[in-house]
Amino acid sequence: MSNDKTPIIRPPIQRVTLLYFLTRELVKQGIKRFHRITTYGGQDHLPEGEGPVIFVSNHQNGLMDPMMVSGLLKQQLHWFTRSDVFRNPFVRKFLIKCHGIPIYRQRDRLKDLRERNDVIWDCCIERLDIGAILSIFPEGNHNPQKTIRGIKNGVGDLMGRAVSKYESLKSIKIIPLGLDYEDYPDYRRRFCLRMGKPVEWVDLYDKKTGKMQLQKLAERIQTAMRNIAVDIRPYEKYDDIIPYVNALRTTEASAEDWIKITCDLDKISQLGNVMDIADAAENLRREGFDSGKMRVEAWGLSNGDVRKKKWWAVALKPLSWIANAPTFLQQLILNFKGDNVKAIAFRSTTKICAGMIVYPLTWTILAAFLGLIASDRGFSFFGWSPFFEVFFTFWSFATFGNRFYGWLKGHLHDHNDAVEGARFWNDDKSTALRKAWVNYIAVVKKTLLE
């Protein structure tokens, strides 16, 4: 089908659906199995009742970002999705039932692109009017670097149209979300979601023209997002600054520590010239530092930041292997497939999306197989139906065994960090690299004091 003949999609006006509710439960279980949710703060900024809301989030980790937001927030969210995904009839029905909204882009090369998006904007406005909640990535696309890029005008255009049609929509709350990953693709690494104060915007609407002051709104949204998400600037010095930021362990930061971190990052960005930091970072690399292989989170800023070893987790490792036996082979294959995805922003997405389907499916098949064997032999512990007794016993064992394995894996990460941290700060073989690291940290701190 040529682009010119692509039918115009007119999504229905809806606020909640049963399919979204059921799918969210699956997504929630998946993200909690894959990541360690360390912080989910700022829920007090949510408005009471069922008022219209637009969430704006930073976008770094491909499809995983909307999954994390949808899985953690209880509200049913409405997402924009590129229009070409809707061409398959089955996928289109599924996405629409899950509140997917097609958005047409310049790259679609449609002559009536503006008219098509007018239909979509009208749909969004009608949904907002009945209390729907939109969730938007205002940067426009994803980028694995921990930066807040320029904000597109889409949110402002939508707000202007919405208030022009329904003045009551001046009650819309624009709430920023900050997504912070310790390690995008790695299993059982920490994740933090911060929710910020609503962005003030009503004063930017001109009733006479029905337009928003787009630039000022974009600046306010960007500032609000910088208060709750890691934003490393200047962008051209990203590789020089990111080691320091990673060593701060931002996903574990308390509310007080987080305020200091954002202030420090803002100060570095205002310096403009960070040549001293760049020189120290270059010296660090000359001494063998490899950001792709070395975890500065294990080192911390000083020897005193080294984590405590968790020998009890090491002792429980064999038990976790037994508990995870029904999932071991599937997990091995999915991790291999995911790690071979070239784009780092889609590795965890590949693992978790496949895992949410493959794990329960294989557990069900194995449970049914064992249940049939038990039924054939009349094997029963409690005098119930042999098939269902064995089926539910195995399914429960596989489910909770995988949870136990994941829980322990997170603690083993901490133990390994403790071992690596102790080695780094005490091993004579690390002397040159350690001196370069200490110098690098000292230069950054000195720069912050200037």
Q: 177 and 266: one domain?
A: no
% of the chain residues with pLDDT over 70: 97
Q: Output 177 or 110, whichever has higher pLDDT.
A: 177
125-159 pLDDT, tens digit each = 999 999 999 999 999 888 899 999 999 998 999 99
274: pLDDT strictly greater than 90: no
- The confidence score (pLDDT) of residue 109 equals 75
Residue where a domain stops, chosen among 186, 201, 231: 231
**Averaged over 92-97, what is the pLDDT?**
92
- The confidence score (pLDDT) of residue 1 equals 42
404-449 pLDDT, tens digit each = 999 999 999 999 999 999 999 999 999 999 999 999 999 999 988 8
Q: 219 and 363: one domain?
A: no
Structural domain count of the chain: 2
CATH assignment at residue 10: 3.40.1130
Q: 179 and 293: one domain?
A: no
Q: 220 and 137: one domain?
A: yes
Q: 225 and 329: one domain?
A: no
- The confidence score (pLDDT) of residue 66 equals 93
pLDDT band, residue 51 (cuts 50/70/90): confident
49: pLDDT strictly greater than 80: no
Q: Which range, of 107-111, 336-340, 365-369, averages the lowest pLDDT?
A: 107-111
Q: 216 and 327: one domain?
A: no
Q: 380 and 255: one domain?
A: yes
- The confidence score (pLDDT) of residue 116 equals 87
Q: 212 and 239: one domain?
A: no
79: pLDDT strictly greater than 50: yes
3-state secondary structure the chain: CCHHHCCCCCCCCCCCCHHHHHHHHHHHHHHHHHCEEEEEECHHHCCCCCCCEEEEECCCCCCHHHHHHHHHCCCCEEEEEEHHHHHCHHHHHHHHHCCEEEECCHHHCCCCHHHHHHHHHHHHHHHHHCCCEEEECCCCCCCCCCCCCCCCCHHHHHHHHHHHHCHHHHHCEEEEEEEEECCCCCCCCEEEEEECCCECCHHHEECCCCEECHHHHHHHHHHHHHCCCCCCCCHHHHHHHHHHHHHCCHHHCCHHHHHHHHHHHHHHHHHCCCHHHHHHHHHHHHCCCCCCCCCHHHHCCCHHHCCCCCHHHHHCHHHHHHHCHHHHHHHHHHHHHHHCCCCHHHHHHHHHHHHHHHHHHHHHHHHHHHHHHHHHHCCCCCCCCHHHHHHHHHHHHHHHHHHHHHHHHHHHHHHHHHHHHHHHHHCHHHHHHHHHHHHHHHHHHHHHHC
**Averaged over 223-241, what is the pLDDT?**
93
Q: 154 and 260: one domain?
A: no
CB atoms near residue 3 (< 10 Å): 12
As a whole number of angstroms, the distance between CA 35 and CA 13 comes to: 34
Average of per-residue pLDDT values in the chain: 91
- The confidence score (pLDDT) of residue 181 equals 95
Q: 83 and 49: one domain?
A: yes
Q: Which range, of 14-18, 47-51, 84-88, 302-306, averages the lowest pLDDT?
A: 47-51
Start-to-end C-alpha separation, the chain: 61
Q: Output 112 or 150, whichever has higher pLDDT.
A: 150
pLDDT band, residue 378 (cuts 50/70/90): low
115-126 pLDDT, tens digit each = 888 899 999 999
CA nearest to 443, candidates 242, 244, 236: 244
What amino acid occupies position 403?
Answer: R
Q: 71 and 186: one domain?
A: yes
pLDDT band, residue 2 (cuts 50/70/90): very low
pLDDT band, residue 289 (cuts 50/70/90): very high
Residue where a domain stops, chosen among 191, 210, 231: 231
Q: Which range, of 74-78, 179-183, 266-270, 415-419, averages the lowest pLDDT?
A: 266-270
CA nearest to 263, candidates 235, 237, 236, 231: 231
Residue where a domain stops, chosen among 208, 231, 254: 231
Question: Which residues form the domain of 412?
Answer: 235-450
Q: Are strands 190-195 and 173-181 parallel, antiparallel or unpaired?
A: antiparallel
CB atoms near residue 43 (< 10 Å): 11
332-362 pLDDT, tens digit each = 998 888 889 888 888 898 888 888 889 999 9
Q: 89 and 101: one domain?
A: yes
